[in-house]
Structure 1
Amino acid sequence: MPSPENILLRLSARDDAYVRELFDKLEALGFPRQHQSPHISLTFAPEMDAAVVHRAQEVLPGCVPSFLRRAGIVTFGVKRKQTVAWLLEASDDLEDAARQLSALNPEGRGSRWVPHLTLGLRLPREIVPDYIRALDELTSPYVRELTAERAVYWRPQLGEETQLAP
């Protein structure tokens, strides 16, 4: 299955480097290498509807840059492969914009959004507890907030990223 198109938030250079460093440290401990670029998805679809991209260009400039607070760790998945992520809390403006985009997206889940930053993708279920434990040990207690510096429309099949906000 090809990667979906996304409207997403890119982190500041400092936060991006920090997350990539966590990926390296987790790999050094024997966990699967994470290849994804650190990001926060607002909505995604196999092919993004043009109306969603247009609305994103209207609503996201007022929300970005944005600060998102780490609120915990969550796991997603109901089968053998699991995803581990930091659960994030966003500003009301960003939350409203993300919900608008998801509701407008025919492939979306209605006006729902769970802000998160994926740190472990497609992990075998049996290693998830150890992965979370290692992540807790490696994460600095001083990293409480992430900066979403820009919003983009990412089309992985074309390798094309279009900036939507700052």
Structure 2
Amino acid sequence: MSQVIEVMRETRVPAGIDTVWAVVSDAGRAADWFDFADRTEVRSGDGVGQLRTQHGHWGRRRSEVDQEITECVPGKVLAWRHVAERIDGRPAPKFATRTEFRIELDGDAETTTVRLRSLQTPGGPVKGWLMRRVGTKDIERNMDRSLERLAGVLS
């Protein structure tokens, strides 16, 4: 079995945890700060079990990720797993057998540490090697841009 590939980035923002949570937990605001998303729509539900579709781009191609919220603790954690991924409307190549993304907050009324975490289980050794060699750098760049954009939205 392949080992989980974890990519994590964090920053501290000069905004209270309730303010940050209001932005990061709102699917309608994802395009404002989350570099992976051009828009995110809620398809059904609320909290754990909610189904969303995130629309974005992978290079010059359109991407869609169907997500299921797996953890939702207001002011603390929002996590989802990828249920399906499409590029230009067709199923995307499957490199990971499981992909989870987490937004974790820690702070108070004045400042908040925002941690973005991607956890992927490769679909085998070759796919794991490719994901580590190429994919993690893209994820790191998108996370860094997301955190910069979030700080801008909150300032």
- TM-score of the superposed pair, with normalisation by structure 1: 0.29
Kindly indicate which of the two structures has a greater share of residues assigned to helix: 1
Between structures 1 and 2, the one with greater strand share: 2
**TM-score between both structures, scaled by the size of structure 2:** 0.30
